[in-house]
Amino acid sequence: MWNELLGAFAAVATLPNFIAMAAGIWGGVIIGAIPGMTGTMAVTLALPFTFYLPPVTSLLLLVALYKGSTYGGSISAILIKTPGTASAACTVLDGYPLAREGKGGKALNMALVSSCIGDFISNISLIFLAAPLAMFALRVGPPEYFMLMAFSLTIVASISGRSLLLGIVSACLGLLLATVGEDMYGSFRFALSEDMKSGLGVVPVLIGLFALPEMIKLAVFRPEENTQAMKLGDNRLTMSEFRGSLKSIIRGSLIGVVLGAIPGIGPSTAAFFSYSEARRTSKNGDRFGEGELEGVAASESANNGCCGATMIPLLALGVPGDVITGVMLGAFMIHGLTPGPLLFQNNIGEVYSLFIGMLFSSLFLFVAGKLTASGFAKISRIPQQVLLPCIVILCVFGIYSVASSPFDVAVLLVMGIVGFVMMVLNIPAAPFLIAFILGPMFEDNMRRSLAISRGDLGVFFQSWISWGFFALTILFVALTIRREWQKWRSTSRAAN
Entry pTM: 0.79
Residues contacting residue 274 through CB under 8 Å, at least 6 positions apart: 248, 251, 252, 255, 256, 298, 299, 301, 302
State the total domains in the chain.
1
Decide which of 234 and 125 is more confident: 125
Residue 248 has what pLDDT?
Answer: 92
pLDDT of amino acid 294 = 92
| pLDDT at residue 381, rounded to an integer | 66
CB distance 413 to 153 below 8 Å: no
* pLDDT of the residue at 320: 76
The Cα–Cα gap between 3 and 226 comes to 60
Neighbours of 222 (CB within 10 A): 10
Tens digits of residue pLDDT in 355-368:
888 888 889 999 88
Q: Per-residue pLDDT averaged across 31-58, rounded?
A: 81
Per-residue pLDDT tens digits for 319-357: 777 778 878 888 888 888 888 777 777 778 888 888 888
pLDDT score, position 230: 52
Percent of the chain with pLDDT over 70: 92
Domain encompassing residue 7: 1-495
* Distances 68 to 26, 126, 187, 372, 454 between C-alpha atoms, Å: 7, 18, 38, 12, 45
Count of beta carbons in the 10 Å neighbourhood of residue 334:
14
pLDDT of residue 222: 61
Residue 442 or residue 45, greater confidence: 442
Q: How confident is the model over 108-120, as pLDDT tens digits?
A: 889 999 999 999 9
**Residue 252 banded pLDDT, cuts 50, 70, 90:** very high
pLDDT score of 31: 83
User: Which of 194-203, 347-356, 383-392 is predicted with the least confidence, judged by mean pLDDT?
Assistant: 383-392
pLDDT at 2: 67
User: In this model, does residue 226 exceed pLDDT 60?
Assistant: no
pLDDT band at 76; cut points 50, 70, 90: confident
